[in-house]
């Protein structure tokens, strides 16, 4: 059972979806190579406001030209997460020396992130 999850939510310009998908496929390969149990990147499909909660688009204030990406990586434990992420951050396939956050297909400053201990799951 996964015991620890890193979660991400970010606004993504719709025009950058293909570039983001390419980057996400590389990231998935790298995280899994270093021991993550699962890696998912999901793009918003149902934008409907149910009327009883704050939706992702409203919560991160997406513009009409943007969509939302929800992503998560699962690990055995936080200790495993820390070990795996240290390797990922040094992996030249994902982090070439010339990688510039300003050249990402999304605004890194608007990305939400957190590490979560599993409360319920199998």
The DSSP secondary structure of 67-83, one letter per residue, reads: EEEEEEEEES-HHHHHH
Which CATH number do you get for residue 27? Answer: 3.30.70.100
Number of structural domains (the chain) is 1
80 within a domain of the structure (yes/no): yes
75 within a domain of the structure (yes/no): yes
Please, where are the H alpha helices in 12-119? Answer: 17-33, 56-59, 78-88
48 within a domain of the structure (yes/no): yes
pTM, two decimals, is: 0.89
Q: What is the pLDDT of residues 37-66, one digit of tens each?
A: 999 999 999 888 888 999 999 999 999 999
Which residue range forms the structural domain that includes residue 39?
4-117
122 within a domain of the structure (yes/no): no
Structure tokens at 116: 């979560």
Can you tell me which residue has the tokens 């496929």? 25
45 within a domain of the structure (yes/no): yes
Q: What is the pLDDT of residues 99-112, one digit of tens each?
A: 666 778 888 889 99
């Amino acid at each position: 059972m996964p015991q620890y999850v890193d979660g991400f939510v970010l606004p993504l310009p719709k025009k950058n979806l293909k570039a983001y998908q390419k980057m996400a496929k590389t990231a998935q390969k790298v995280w899994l190579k270093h021991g993550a149990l699962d890696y998912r990147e999901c793009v918003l499909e149902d934008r409907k406001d149910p009327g009883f909660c704050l939706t992702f688009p409203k919560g991160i204030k997406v513009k009409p030209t943007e969509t939302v990406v929800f992503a998560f990586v699962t690990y055995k434990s936080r200790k495993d997460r820390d070990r795996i992420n240290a390797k990922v951050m040094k992996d030249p396939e994902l982090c070439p020396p010339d990688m510039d956050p300003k050249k990402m297909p999304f605004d890194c400053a608007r990305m939400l992130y957190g590490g979560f201990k599993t409360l319920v799951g199998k």
